[in-house]
Amino acid sequence: MSETLPSSAEVVVVGGGNAALCAALAAAEHGASVLVLERAPENEAGGNSRFTAGAFRSVYDGVDDLRALMPDLTDEEVANSDFGAYRQEKFFDDMGRVTEYRTDPDLCEVLVKRSKETLLWMRDKGVRFAPIWGRQAYKIGGRFKFWGGLTIEASGGGPGLVEALTKIARKDGVVIAYGARTLSLIADDDGVKGVRVKHNGRTVEVKAKAVVLAAGGFQANAEMRTRYLGPLWELAKVRGTRFNTGDGIRMALDIGAMPTGNWSGAHAVGWDRNAPEFGDLTVGDNFQKHSYPLGIMINALGERFVDEGADFRNYTYAKYGRVILMQPGQFAWQVFDRKVIPMLRDEYRIKQVTKARADTLEELAGKLVDVDAGRALETIRAYNKAVMTEVPFDPNVKDGRGTRGLTIPKSNWANTIDEPPFEAYAVTCGITFTFGGLKIDTGARVIDVEGAPIPGLFAAGELVGGIFYFNYPGGTGLMNGAVFGRIAGASAGRRAAESR
Ligand SMILES: Cc1cc2nc3c(=O)[nH]c(=O)nc-3n(C[C@H](O)[C@H](O)[C@H](O)COP(=O)(O)OP(=O)(O)OC[C@H]3O[C@@H](n4cnc5c(N)ncnc54)[C@H](O)[C@@H]3O)c2cc1C
């Protein structure tokens, strides 16, 4: 991109992640001139989307749908896998259940019903997908069995996704400006007319017929986190980009947009206790520690504090970050023994990991930094006694192998912790994205405080409120950004075309 920004574009897209780039592609389909304003410099561009593993939660009715999306799937791979199906009803159920039935029904319907066609649209544009062999399937009797409704990832993960979308956008004539921080919207009674942008140290105006906001949530803004999520949230680590500081939300509220959704809620996970303050692209999402359903978690008091096996990790990981943040010292240790160590996800084997290893439980308890060792030992022993060893262990289903008689039960996948070596991993809270944001309608039009659409303003992705509450089914963030990014871009592109 040249040193100066154009003074106008028919459609301006604010943000440079998955939602923004999908919006840009859709707007370009309507023949609009499209300018993407990405706050980050090019080497850090792509937002949270680039930090992901690229997992997409989409409806599929069986292997034929997957073959349509992933034509590279071989007959042998299909024969060796039990992909099952993830039907609309199940996606609806999952969204309802994890959000405690608060998800906006209209937006949720669009998300679910347009998931599959949106992935096919992306594939037609040139994005490639693959099954998530590594993380979402266990090999049983020589066959991969997929579980938890999450089967598809973008090839090359988040970096591959952003690279592909960027390449396609450029090929389609979209102009991408990096280091271009949008400061505010230019608007009057007739709607949005453009944006003010800080680029190369200068504040300039770019006129537009339509603006799509896709600038992420406010998770990287410690002040907003504390203001909206509550005390202690300033102490959370940010899993992804440092650039999502709530700008898009703020600039829309400034012109009268309606805030909606779970403003005190966020997606937050167990994250290495010594990870840096913001995400590190060389490590990506590997600071996360998602194998806790196979073990137990112990806090500074030496006690368990949550049902680690309440559900598949896909349905608990996004809310357990908050639970860890609320523990004394904002940390916990995840504890495993020899039986499950080989099953731990790859992220446990990176070198930037806070880990203790021992051959006896006494030794391990002593190595759990900042923990009451005596109490930790008692907790592990009491847990071991409570495990229903008569129920077979099966990580592919909710096996009902729980505990008996503990104040805090473990409901599934309870294995005794009694075979050396023992390993423990220290985690704190890593925030992924915030749930509260702007109100949009099913056409991705931003709604104002009177309930009317703001002419010329569209939004998609993390900064939209009303879709996620309390919790989140894994892989829905990218799907949400793609579905509504595409709709927002198409709406913006149509508006530009109509006013030509
Ligand atoms: C470590 C990690 C792993 C994850 N794994 C998955 C996964 O596997 N599957 C899944 O579905 N979700 C995952 N998520 C969640 C997912 O990343 C988000 O839900 C999704 O990427 C949001 O897309 P977005 O386009 O709305 O935001 P982003 O991709 O964050 O894009 C926002 C963009 O806005 C830009 N921006 C911010 N302010 C301004 C401004 N003032 N002007 C211009 N630009 C601005 C930012 O630089 C950024 O490029 C993960 C998140 C993290 C952090």
Q: What is the pLDDT of residues 234-278, one digit of tens each?
A: 999 999 999 999 999 999 999 999 999 999 999 999 999 999 999
Instruction: Give the mutation target among 35, 38, 52, 218 for probing the ligand 1 site: most ligand atoms within 8 A of CB.
Output: 52
Alpha-carbon span 377 to 50, nearest angstrom: 41
For atom 3 of ligand 1, the residue with the nearest CA is: 52
Average pLDDT over residues 98-121: 98
Q: Which pLDDT band, with edges at 50, 70 and 90, does 1 fall under?
A: very low
Tell me what percent of the residues of the chain surpass a pLDDT of 90: 91
Contact 364, 375 (CB under 8 A): no
**Tokens 């897209």 sit at which residue?**
13
Closest residue by Cα to residue 475 from 153, 101, 185, 24: 153
Q: What letter represents residue 318's amino acid? A: A
Note the pTM of the prediction, 2 decimals.
0.94
Q: Ligand 1 pocket: which residues have CB below 6 Å?
A: 14-20, 37-40, 45-49, 51-55, 181-182, 214-216, 239-241, 243-244, 247, 279, 285, 432-433, 461-462, 475-478, 481
Q: Write out pLDDT tens, residues 458-489.
A: 999 999 999 999 988 999 999 999 999 999 99
Distances (CA, A) of 211 to 36, 154, 485, 489: 10, 27, 12, 9
Q: Give the Å distance between the CA of 477 and the centre of ligand 1.
A: 8
Tokens coding 82: 């039990």
For atom 38 of ligand 1, the residue with the nearest CA is: 215
Which atom from ligand 1 is nearest to the alpha carbon of 50?
29
